[in-house]
Amino acid sequence: MRVRELAERLNLSFKGNGDLDLTGAADLESAAPTELAFVGAKKFFKTAEASQAGCLVATLDFTSHERTVIRARDARATFAAALQLLYPTRTVPAGIHPTAVVEPGASVGANVSIGAHCFIGEGSVIGDESILHPRVTIYAGVVIGQRSIIHSGAVIGADGFGFVPSGGVWHKFPQVGGVTIGDDVEIGANTCIDRAALGQTVIGNGVKLDNMVHIAHNCRIGNHVVIAAQTGLSGGVTVGDHAIIGGQVGIGDKARIESGAVLGSGCGVLTSKIVRAGQPVWGTPARPLREYLEQLAQVARLSQTKEELRQVQLLVEQIAERVELPLPVQAVADPKNS
């Protein structure tokens, strides 16, 4: 695709060689003269000037008299759109693979693709134009919306982790609820979404779950939430619309993550904790980012403070050696006993 055509399809202008035929895309360091690359911030401007890339998608403040450039207000989103044009999504044929099992009573919508060795349980619903990659397991009674993509190894609708102690042993609390997933959801490989004990575990529209994410029973995930890999949500957690949750985050029972909150990678949210709307948090236990950074700075200063105290101690010892200090009171002789 020529630069001129790409810019037209992105509804943007370009500067430079519009007739350059782009064969693909790569990062700035490795891009070839026929490839597109991305410049997303000022710190990459110098690298961009030295890059061999034939064309750059860059921010509006990137200036160059020699490079072929497509500038955009949201350069990252524009580059993503360009990649979709340069690498069209491979069409997955609709239909059910011969090795897949769809139990009686399950409903499969129009133009759905169900891959090899998938299992769709009784009473489940798969929305129109959804794609289930090989070896996806959908338990009974799960509802999946339209245009959803579920990657290999995902398990949806398994029992939640519900047990009650009695007589010194654990007894299973029957998990009789279901799972409801909205439209345009993408679920990564080996991710597990448990059915509710009662009621529904709910995943909203446009949610994107990475690989190896665990959503426990009775969680309610709002619309357009993003959750990165190896994150686990305990039972009854609620997450508001447009929240962003990093990788390896742990969230305790019945915690509430309000709309637009950002949970940094590796942080831990305690049971019943509330993370306020729009608030970025980090660390374990999770706390506001500013507070977390201040505490990190204090820890970094501890070694310096320790060294300063050591120097003071040495100075005191040197002074004590040079000055004759009075004897302690208890060491002074009593004249009556002399």
Report residue 302: phi and psi, to 5°: -60, -40
Which residues are part of the catalytic machinery? 217
pLDDT of 58 > 60? The answer is: yes
Tens-digit pLDDT profile for residues 61-88: 998 888 999 999 999 999 999 999 999 8
Please give the Cα distance from 224 to 235 (Å, whole number): 20
Q: Smallest Cα–Cα separation from 9: which of 86, 62, 73? A: 86
Contacting residues for 271 by C-beta, under 8 A, at least 6 apart: 234, 252, 253, 254, 255
Please give the Cα distance from 149 to 194 (Å, whole number): 18
pLDDT of 303 > 50? The answer is: yes
Residue 338 — very low, low, confident or very high, per pLDDT cuts 50/70/90? very low
Predicted local distance difference test score (pLDDT) of residue 66 = 86
CATH 2.160.10.10 matches 95-289: yes
pLDDT of 198 > 80? The answer is: yes
DSSP state of 166: E
**What are the extents of the domains in the chain?**
3-86, 95-289, 291-328
In angstroms, the Cα distances linking 128 to 145, 156, 180 are 7, 18, 15
Q: Are 234 and 201 in contact (CB under 8 A)?
A: no
Summarize the confidence of residues 285-289 as an average pLDDT: 85
CA angle 12, 13, 19 (to 5 degrees): 115
Predicted local distance difference test score (pLDDT) of residue 76 = 94
Q: Which helix (H) or strand (E) holds 113?
A: strand 113-114
pLDDT of 295 > 90? The answer is: no
Q: Are 75 and 61 in contact (CB under 8 A)?
A: no
pTM: 0.80
Domain 3-86 belongs to what architecture?
A: 3-Layer(aba) Sandwich (3.40)
Mean confidence (pLDDT) of the chain: 91
Tens-digit pLDDT profile for residues 91-139: 888 999 999 999 999 999 999 999 999 999 999 999 999 999 999 999 9
Predicted local distance difference test score (pLDDT) of residue 328 = 54
Q: For residue 78, which amino acid is it?
A: T
Please give the Cα distance from 282 to 260 (Å, whole number): 15
SS3 state of residue 223: coil
